[in-house]
Structure 1
Amino acid sequence: MDCRVVVEAAVPVYDVGTADEAVRIAISKTGEMLNPDLNYVEINMGERVCPHCHESLDPAFIAADESLVALELEMTVFNVERDEHASRIARKEIGQRLTNIPLDVVEIEQLPDDEEDADSENADSEDADPSEGDVLPEFEELIDE
């Protein structure tokens, strides 16, 4: 099973004046920490909501020219057994590169299986080794991403 995992990160940013500036710097800083090893992780602004009035808030909280920015990091985890397995893998992979940044898994979505596509490819290549049919589509999918 393949899963899409969204992890929320609290990224500290220093010497900023506005929320927009803090978000831009936080995205840039996070991208530098993740690349080139995890260039497939998507970085988005996080969504914060007031716990009392349920209104949307800026993803950045600024005090004394310092900011804490909420970012959502999204990645796809392949060949996992359960949602918890996908969560652990995503937190480990991202957490190794984002040292001293708190992470929290906010969403895990199971992706539809591509077994039908793999079955049709295997039927087309009857002369091929059966083990190649299982490995090759996954390799091609990784290259496409």
Structure 2
Amino acid sequence: MDAVALTPARSGQLRALLARYRRFLLYALIGGGAVVVDVGLYAVLAVPVGLHPIAANTTSTFTAMVLSFAANSVLNFKVTDRIVARFLSFALVTGAGYVVSTLILLVLIDGLGANALVAKGATLPVVLLLQYTLNKKITFATANERTAS
């Protein structure tokens, strides 16, 4: 099978697609960094340190939240007005993700005896989708985006 050549037309389509989904892709990249911080810190606290998985999850989630908010505000959504209100909204969205991830952890670890790291991994896609949707529609929406919806 021949490789598909990146013709000027295809290159233009790719650029248009990247431009269309730039915000989501950057959110995913920042989120990936936050996940590395979250899971890495969780792994250190839950396994070698021996902190209870829920306490480790609380600490890792909060740390990742602060870093993610700062990066998304400045680099991605480029909104730094109403910073306290936006941070509180972001914290509430993160709190919703925290509640969901904690419930999943309780079911998987305490209910089913799953490995703490495997259980944490299972929470990530659910929380990503929930938080992206809420942050895009509420936390980082500009006045124009809120009235257009």
Instruction: Identify the TM-score tier after normalising by the shorter chain.
Output: 0.3 to 0.5
Higher share in strand: 1
Larger of the two Rg values belongs to structure: 1
TM-score for the superposition, normalised by structure 2: 0.32
Higher share in helix: 2
